[in-house]
């Protein structure tokens, strides 16, 4: 073994990381997003996607949805550290594979090309509730809602059909049935 | 119509209602309205420091020795950035601080105005919470909330950034809410079942150890009392982290000394071999655990902590009890007492063999060192200081490095809140300003900063503060002309390449004392040491004590990097005995 010159311990074997979705209810006040995001960057946690908006204008509550990866130990830490932040009301987390939770992302595709190519694009998007938001003779903006990997696939697939620009959101999540996160 | 107060008046109203008696600060353009208001509030005394970092550390010393939050007042820009080190230090060591900083007027925020900086942005990762007050009507609420956040749960620093126009603006003052007590209780999230489970573990244990930390000190003097009862009831051995020293008497036979990187042989081996480990208010810091995979491999682990995020962060535990140390231990003690009424059998006989083993480890006498007649050994200096001050109620602060570890090893603390040191952040320059804060909180007590000559130079200017307020702090410098701990690591880890760890030029500390207007004492001969220390203690006023010690002394025992607790390097006596000198070093 190579002799360590450090007075810090060497990293020990790591467990396999999994993908988790965090839902965080916070006071909608200045700097709150910076606190949440700063916690992730400061402690070396990963953010795959982020979505945030006010959900209750009366109580002034915003809902932040963060997709992250980590070992169960790290995920526990993320939840506990988030809970400690003063403007955080509630934290819920679940695995991406969780069947009881729906999560969706939205993407906007700008297609430039002849009519038949745009038709082909729409056809390809059929499974993902495509909506045409804007249309001209030579272009269209198509909105779809789907899972991250599905949007990844579409993004690739539409390139040869005239896709010139993609804009997409982070994931948002909701439980199935009458239950809510707690 | 209720009377309208200015922002500056509201600040002081809040401080008065929070029973603040001292604030540590430094004026500047953006806090002048608050400084202008100071004269109208005779119950609050302002201590003028020489650098904002000093204000922060002084407030930390004040808080840790008194149990009350420390209050800091600084200006915008450089005032705020200078206090960042102290805030981070307080955050790492869980010290309650309330820092009030001035800010440029609201309409200039974001324009790169003179002495503007993004104070709340800079201090966000080093405070429990911070506020930028943009509306005068929020000020009283924010101030009271700040004190609540700083002092409840796991304590820590908070910062309130107040723009200059808000300090002039007027609003109604709001008194603090009386709901405080409910909040304190909500930190106790444990059940009687968990306590019962712990008591069951206690009765089954054959090789138990208690490992207590700064959480016991932070929980207040009652926690230390409860801990002592608990240790007596169980008959278990107890070891302590650096921050926990004093919670249990350092000279008691059940106390094994400090554990961790420079902990005793008996404490670290007991941690490694135990079958039940009870962590009370400590956080499994990397200086404590050594190699995680081999940390206390065969034990059932119990963790008592007020902060749920401390649990399972580094070491997975079998039983977690989330709550205030005082409440938890008192509950445990009551439960044990109740059980004993039924059948008075204690398990002290169960652990007799364990104690025999511990006594064997103790015989190693791992804190030993080779004393000398020619030069003063730093360990000897700390031991003499302890012997000559132990009958007074002495408060000790330290800087960071070898002297800090020697102080922790050789100075024995019998009461909580008597030992103030920068553990988490390891801030050189902490001890002198902290001593200023301790002396302010305890004007009649003996306050000593056990220092290194390199560390103390980082905040030396605070001697001027000590002289201004006639604070009789004693700066006991173990002067070895090196950044000793850096030199030690270079000797052991970097083939004695002493890169930049020697101070070619040091000030004459005697002349420095004279320049500051305090007393200087110099010692370089072991024969005179006691007399000189006595002279320092007897002098009524601040003293700089320049104690010239052997520059090549290393701090042992030591756990080398990446090694578990049972593979320590011991001091020179043992190394010669076992002829492991070469091999021991190769382990590092």
Helix axes B402-410, B378-389, angle to 10 degrees: 40
290-309 in chain B: CB under 8 A from chain A = 290-293, 307-309
**Helix H or strand E segment including B74:** strand B70-74
Mean pLDDT of A154-174: 95
* pLDDT 10s digits, A69-93: 999 999 999 999 999 999 999 999 9
* pLDDT 10s digits, B210-244: 999 999 999 999 999 999 999 999 999 999 999 99
Q: Does B344 score more than 70 pLDDT?
A: no
> Where residue B346 falls among pLDDT bands split at 50, 70, 90?
low
Mean pLDDT of B340-357: 77
**Cα B545 versus chain centre, distance:** 23
Q: Does A3 score more than 80 pLDDT?
A: no
Compute the distance between CA of residue A154 and CA of residue A141 in angstroms, rounded to an integer. 14
Residue with tokens 């929980």, as numbered in its chain? B219
The dihedral of CA B348, B354, B360, B363: what is its sign? negative
Annotated active-site residue B535? The verdict is: no
pLDDT of residue A14: 73
pLDDT of residue B188: 86
pLDDT of residue A156: 95
**Closest-CA distance of chain B to residue A178, Å:** 29
pLDDT of residue B560: 81
Compute the distance between CA of residue B478 and CA of residue B378 in angstroms, rounded to an integer. 6
Helix (H, G, I), strand (E, B) or coil at B46: strand
Residues B316, A38: C-beta atoms closer than 8 Å: no
Nearest to B292 among A7, A9, A31 (CB): A9
pLDDT of residue B138: 96
> Where residue B576 falls among pLDDT bands split at 50, 70, 90?
low
* Averaged pLDDT of chain B: 94
pLDDT of residue B273: 97
* pLDDT 10s digits, A14-28: 778 999 999 999 999
* pLDDT 10s digits, B257-278: 999 999 999 999 999 999 999 9
Q: Is A113 left (phi over 0), alpha (psi -120 to 50) or beta?
A: left
> Where residue B575 falls among pLDDT bands split at 50, 70, 90?
low
Compute the distance between CA of residue B103 and CA of residue B89 in angstroms, rounded to an integer. 23
Interface with A, mutate which of B561, B563, B565, B585 (most A CBs under 10 A): B561
Nearest to B561 among A4, A38, A84 (CB): A4
> Where residue B345 falls among pLDDT bands split at 50, 70, 90?
low
Higher pLDDT, B24 or B176: B24
**Closest-CA distance of chain B to residue A151, Å:** 35
* pLDDT 10s digits, A100-132: 999 899 999 999 999 999 999 999 999 999 999
Nearest to B292 among A6, A12, A83 (CB): A12
Structure tokens, B215: 């959480």
What order of strands is seen across the sheet that includes strand A88-95? A49-56, A61-70, A18-27, A88-95
Q: Does B180 score more than 60 pLDDT?
A: no
pLDDT of residue A123: 94
Q: Is B432 left (phi over 0), alpha (psi -120 to 50) or beta?
A: alpha
Give the residue among B224, B188, B130, B572 at the shortest CA–CA distance from B415: B224
Contact B140, B12 (CB under 8 A): no
Percent of chain B with pLDDT over 70: 95
> Where residue B584 falls among pLDDT bands split at 50, 70, 90?
very low
pLDDT of residue B577: 54
Catalytic residue among B13, B128, B164, B522: B164
Mean pLDDT of B118-130: 97
Q: Does B588 score more than 50 pLDDT?
A: no
Annotated active-site residue B114? The verdict is: yes
What is the ipTM score, two decimals? 0.89
Compute the distance between CA of residue B136 and CA of residue B115 in angstroms, rounded to an integer. 22
pLDDT of residue A4: 65
> Where residue B196 falls among pLDDT bands split at 50, 70, 90?
very high
pLDDT of residue A15: 79
Residues B308, A12: C-beta atoms closer than 8 Å: no
Chain B hits for A5, CB-CB cut-off 8 Å, are: 493-494, 561
B583 — contact with chain A (CB < 8 Å)? no
Residues B124, A12: C-beta atoms closer than 8 Å: no
Residue with tokens 């169980």, as numbered in its chain? B234
pLDDT of residue B26: 98
Residues A3, B586: C-beta atoms closer than 8 Å: yes
> Where residue B585 falls among pLDDT bands split at 50, 70, 90?
very low
pLDDT of residue B574: 73
Mean pLDDT of B398-408: 98
Helix (H, G, I), strand (E, B) or coil at B526: helix
Peptide bond into B557 cis (omega under 30): yes
Contacting residues for A153 by C-beta, under 8 A, at least 6 apart: none
Structure tokens, B512: 């420095």
Q: Of A39-48, B388-397, B488-497, B578-587, give the lowest mean pLDDT range.
A: B578-587
Residues A31, B120: C-beta atoms closer than 8 Å: yes
> Where residue A182 falls among pLDDT bands split at 50, 70, 90?
low
Q: Does B389 score more than 60 pLDDT?
A: yes
* Averaged pLDDT of chain A: 92
Interface with B, mutate which of A2, A5, A6, A9 (most B CBs under 10 A): A9
Higher pLDDT, B411 or B587: B411
Interface with A, mutate which of B562, B564, B582 (most A CBs under 10 A): B562
Residues B286, A8: C-beta atoms closer than 8 Å: yes
């Amino acid at each position: 073994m190579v002799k360590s010159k450090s007075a810090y311990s060497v990293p020990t074997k790591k467990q396999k990381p999994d993908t988790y979705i965090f839902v965080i209810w916070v006071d909608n006040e200045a700097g709150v997003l910076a606190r949440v995001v700063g916690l992730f960057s400061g402690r070396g946690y990963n953010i795959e996607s982020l979505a945030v908006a006010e959900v209750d204008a009366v109580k002034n509550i915003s809902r932040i949805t963060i997709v992250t990866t980590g070992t169960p130990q790290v995920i526990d830490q993320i939840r506990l550290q988030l809970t400690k932040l003063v403007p955080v009301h509630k934290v819920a987390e679940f695995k991406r594979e969780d069947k009881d939770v729906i999560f969706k992302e939205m993407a906007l595709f700008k297609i430039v090309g002849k009519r038949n190519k745009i038709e082909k694009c729409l056809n390809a998007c059929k499974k993902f509730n495509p909506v045409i938001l804007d249309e001209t003779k030579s272009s269209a903006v198509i909105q779809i809602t789907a899972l991250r990997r599905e949007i990844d696939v579409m993004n690739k697939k539409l390139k040869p059909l005239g896709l010139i620009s993609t804009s997409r959101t982070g994931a948002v999540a909701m439980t199935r049935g009458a239950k809510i996160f707690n | 119509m209720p009377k309208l107060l200015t922002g500056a008046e509201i600040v002081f109203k809040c401080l008065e209602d929070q029973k603040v008696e001292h604030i540590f600060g430094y004026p500047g353009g953006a806090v002048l309205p608050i400084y202008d208001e100071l004269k109208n509030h005779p119950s609050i005394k302002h201590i003028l420091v020489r650098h904002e970092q000093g204000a922060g550390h002084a407030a930390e010393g004040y808080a840790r020795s008194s149990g009350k939050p420390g209050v800091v007042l600084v200006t915008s820009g450089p005032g705020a950035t200078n206090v960042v080190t102290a805030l981070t230090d307080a955050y790492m060591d869980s010290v309650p601080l309330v820092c009030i900083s001035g800010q440029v007027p609201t309409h200039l925020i974001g324009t790169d105005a003179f002495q503007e900086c993004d104070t709340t942005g800079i201090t966000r990762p080093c405070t429990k919470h911070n506020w930028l007050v943009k509306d005068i009507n929020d000020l009283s609420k924010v101030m009271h909330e700040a004190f609540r956040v700083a002092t409840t749960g796991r304590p820590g620093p908070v910062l309130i950034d107040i723009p200059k126009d808000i300090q002039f603006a007027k609003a109604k003052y709001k008194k603090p809410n009386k709901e405080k007590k409910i909040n304190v209780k909500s930190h106790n999230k444990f059940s009687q079942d968990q306590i019962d489970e712990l008591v069951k573990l206690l009765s089954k244990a054959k090789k138990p150890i208690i490992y207590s930390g700064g959480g016991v000190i932070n929980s207040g003097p009652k926690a230390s009392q409860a801990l002592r009862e608990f240790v007596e009831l169980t008959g278990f051995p107890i070891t302590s982290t650096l921050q926990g020293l004093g919670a249990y008497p350092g000279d008691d036979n059940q106390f094994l000394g400090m554990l961790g990187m420079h902990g005793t042989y008996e404490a670290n081996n007991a941690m490694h071999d135990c079958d039940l480990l009870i962590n009370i208010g400590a956080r499994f810091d990397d200086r404590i655990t050594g190699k995680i995979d081999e940390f206390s491999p065969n034990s059932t682990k119990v963790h008592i902590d007020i902060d749920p995020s401390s649990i399972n962060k580094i070491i997975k535990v079998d039983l977690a009890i989330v709550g205030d140390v005082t409440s938890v231990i008192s509950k445990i003690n009551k439960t044990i007492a109740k059980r004993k009424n039924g059948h008075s059998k204690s398990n002290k006989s169960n652990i007799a063999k364990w104690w025999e083993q511990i006594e064997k480890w103790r015989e190693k006498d791992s804190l030993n060192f080779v004393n000398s007649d020619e030069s003063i050994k730093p360990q000897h200096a700390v031991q003499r200081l302890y012997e000559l001050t132990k009958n007074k109620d002495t408060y000790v602060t330290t800087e960071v490095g070898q002297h800090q570890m020697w102080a922790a090893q050789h100075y024995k603390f019998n009461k909580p809140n008597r030992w103030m040191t920068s553990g988490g952040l390891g801030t050189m320059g902490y001890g002198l300003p902290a001593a200023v804060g301790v002396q302010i909180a305890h004007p009649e007590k003996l306050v000593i900063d056990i220092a290194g000559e390199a560390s103390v130079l980082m905040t030396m200017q605070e001697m001027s503060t000590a002289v201004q307020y006639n604070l009789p702090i004693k700066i006991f410098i173990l002067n070895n002309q090196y950044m000793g701990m850096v030199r030690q690591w270079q000797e052991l880890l970097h083939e004695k390449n002493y890169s930049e760890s020697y101070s070619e030029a040091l000030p004459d500390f005697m002349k420095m004392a004279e320049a500051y207007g305090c007393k200087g004492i110099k010692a370089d001969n072991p024969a005179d040491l006691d007399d000189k220390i006595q002279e320092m203690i007897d002098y009524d006023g601040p003293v700089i004590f320049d104690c010239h010690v052997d520059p090549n002394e290393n701090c042992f025992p030591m756990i080398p990097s990446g090694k578990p607790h049972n593979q320590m390097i011991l001091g020179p006596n043992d190394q010669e005995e076992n002829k492991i000198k070469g091999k021991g070093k190769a382990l590092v």
